[in-house]
A = this chain, B = another copy of it.
Amino acid sequence: MIAMPAKRPPVPLSLERIVDAALHIADGQGLRRLTMRRLGDALQVEAMAIYHHLPRGKEALMDVLAEHVTAVQVAPDGLGTWQERARAWARASRTALLEHPGVLSLALTKPSKGAALIAVREQVEQLQEAGLEGAGEAVRALRAYVFGSVAVEVQRSGWADPDATVQNARTEDGERDFEHGLDALIRGLGG
């Protein structure tokens, strides 16, 4: 052994790298297995190094993860009826949430901060600009439905504690049910 410097890891740490690694672990082995030490290992770094980039520790990491999954951007160029816009936004949100089933419980639990709140406001504006009255209530209802749908879909896909094989959370049945309920909700929001 030539006395590896051991300090200064190959590629320096950054918030983005940390978040990526954390999502990878959470999605691959469950939130419970996302620990500081394991995260450090994945980043080729000792656990304590993470605290320099996330001063409030694990709590801060959880906040960032939740926000990262919740903040959805929909191409604002899409014109069309409010129904089409609402549908597009709901689908995009569902897709974003399903891509990281491991941190879903965070997204559902942690109060929305920053980017997520902005995304919601944007959506409200887009819908009322497309002619929908009561866009605020509508967006809140849509958000609730999307969140709940994804939660049920993930929980039914057996993404719980048994550390089952990392099957894809997305299912055919889930998609059908989602679209069905979404149709109904949008229809009901109209009149």
Contact residues of A with B, CB < 8 Å?
Answer: 59, 62, 104-105, 108-112, 134, 137-138, 140-141, 143-149, 151-152, 154-156, 158, 160-161, 176-178, 180-181, 183-189, 191
Main secondary structure of the interface of A (DSSP, over half): helix
Q: Are B143 and A152 in contact (CB under 8 A)?
A: yes
Residue from A138, A141, A158 whose CB has the most chain B CB atoms within 10 Å: A141
A44 to chain B, nearest CB (A): 29
Roughly how many angstroms separate A110 CA and B154 CA in the complex, as a whole number? Answer: 9
Please name all residues of chain B whose beta carbon is closer than 8 Å to the beta carbon of A151 when the two chains form the complex. Answer: 108-109, 144, 147-148, 151
10 A-B pairs with least C-beta separation = A148-B148, A141-B181, A188-B188, A184-B188, A144-B148, A147-B148, A187-B188, A144-B149, A108-B151, A184-B189
Known: A147-B147, A177-B141. A155 touches B188 (CB 8 A): no
Known: A184-B189, A185-B141, A188-B189. A112 touches B155 (CB 8 A): yes
For A106, the closest partner residue in chain B by CB is: B105
A36 to chain B, nearest CB (A): 15
Q: Are A137 and B186 in contact (CB under 8 A)?
A: no
Roughly how many angstroms separate A111 CA and B143 CA in the complex, as a whole number? Answer: 22
A119 to chain B, nearest CB (A): 14
For A185, the closest partner residue in chain B by CB is: B185
Interface residue from B59, B141, B160 paired with A180 (Cβ < 8 Å): B141
A179 to chain B, nearest CB (A): 10
Q: Are B108 and A108 in contact (CB under 8 A)?
A: yes
A190 to chain B, nearest CB (A): 8
Roughly how many angstroms separate A149 CA and B148 CA in the complex, as a whole number? Answer: 7
Roughly how many angstroms separate A161 CA and B62 CA in the complex, as a whole number? Answer: 10
Q: Are A155 and B111 in contact (CB under 8 A)?
A: yes
